[in-house]
Amino acid sequence: MTEPSAARDAYTHEECAQAGRADGHAHDQPARREPAPRGPWGALVEAVRCPVCGDSLAVAERSLRCPNRHTFDIARQGYVSLLSGAKRTANADSAAMVLARTAFLEAGHYAPLTGALARTTAALGLPAEGAGGTVLDAGAGTGHYLAAVLEALPGAVGLALDASPHALRRAARAHPRAGAASWDVWRPFPVRDGCADIVLNVFAPRNGAEFRRVLGPRGALVVVTPTGRHLRELRGALGLLEVDPDKAERLERTLSGHFAPERTEDLEYPLELSAADVANLAAMGPAARHVEPEELRERAAALGERVQATASFGISVYRPLPPAG
């Protein structure tokens, strides 16, 4: 997930030690009975499928395994490695981007958005009363928004998909009922047809066909996008990417044929940011891939100790269209 441009200033020793390592991959190994670990994967395993052969997966002690013996390790940090090393995406968030995003979100600057998203999903009436339900967050990042939604939906479980191992280490710990797995959301999801009650898409790429495939017929897609007014005071000074003026139209085109729009809530409020907040804001988004960190810090410092800006978002709900024919 890339926020529209850390709780800690550095990784723990364990995270630093893991940052440069490959995080597991599919491999063949003899099937054997092992005790299933506690946690969300006991419920989520019914929703996922083997990304190699498409068969069902079962929980082993430290892995997920299909009947064809394709095995996917559960990393020490708790997420499942479904992408092999050769298939990792080049634009996944770096460790520095994740730290900056964590610091910015935990400072509460997007708390009104987080609360509005949780209220929107709770008002959908999904899953049906008495059912546990499954929430899929495509491009989940650190799991910040998924955790808030799960708090609003007692009994539901959540699956966070993201390409960044650094973000997934946090997503796997974001909520007791959330599981996390590495995946490129542009590819067909390793998820069963119709298994999700809600799909979340917050500042992330949109794969309309896959969103439709994994949603149940009564499910809902909830999309969060920045408006053209979002952070308008900071874009030039920080070198942040401009919001495409045709973004709303592109969103509709991406989802057309798969979803019908139900409603959109606009949310706008003022931000008061410190120099450190502005530096984190710049470092957590796409600008961090194109501008050196020291230059971003200098640009942020040049704005002064207190900076006023505008947060502006659209929260849109879509319903799946019935199958053609």
Cα–Cα distance between 298 and 275 in angstroms, integer?
A: 10
Q: What is the pLDDT of residue 252?
A: 80
Instruction: Show the tokens assigned to 47.
Output: 């929703």
* pLDDT per residue as tens, the chain (325 positions): 666 653 333 334 344 344 433 344 445 444 444 444 457 898 999 999 999 999 999 998 889 999 999 999 998 888 998 986 545 566 789 999 999 999 999 999 999 999 999 999 999 988 765 567 999 999 999 999 999 999 999 989 999 999 999 999 999 999 999 999 999 999 999 999 999 999 999 999 999 999 999 999 999 999 999 998 999 998 878 877 666 666 667 778 889 999 999 999 999 999 999 999 999 998 998 877 777 888 888 888 888 889 999 999 999 999 999 987 5
Q: What is the pLDDT of residue 25?
A: 47
Cα–Cα distance between 29 and 202 in angstroms, integer?
A: 37
Secondary structure of the chain: what % helix, strand, coil (to 5)?
Answer: 30, 25, 45
The alpha helices in 20-110, defined as continuous H runs, are: 41-44, 95-106
Residue 290 in 3-state DSSP? coil
Q: Inter-axis angle of helices 111-122 and 144-152, to 10 degrees?
A: 40
Residue 195: CB atoms within 10 Å: 20
Alpha-carbon distance values, 313 to 3, 142, 241, 243, 320 (Å): 12, 19, 16, 11, 22
Dihedral sign computed on CA atoms, order 294, 299, 300, 305:
positive
Q: Taking a C-beta distance cutoff of 8 angstroms, is the pair 202, 182 a contact? A: no
Cα–Cα distance between 41 and 99 in angstroms, integer?
A: 26
89 φ, ψ (degrees, to nearest 5): -90, 140
Task: Record the pTM.
Answer: 0.85
Pairing of strands 157-162, 63-65: unpaired
Q: What is the pLDDT of residue 2?
A: 61
Q: Inter-axis angle of helices 95-106 and 275-283, to 10 degrees?
A: 140
Instruction: Show the tokens assigned to 266.
Output: 């606009």
Pairing of strands 134-138, 196-202: parallel
158 φ, ψ (degrees, to nearest 5): -125, 145
Give Cα 115 to chain centroid, integer Å.
16
Alpha-carbon distance values, 273 to 15, 281, 293 (Å): 28, 9, 19
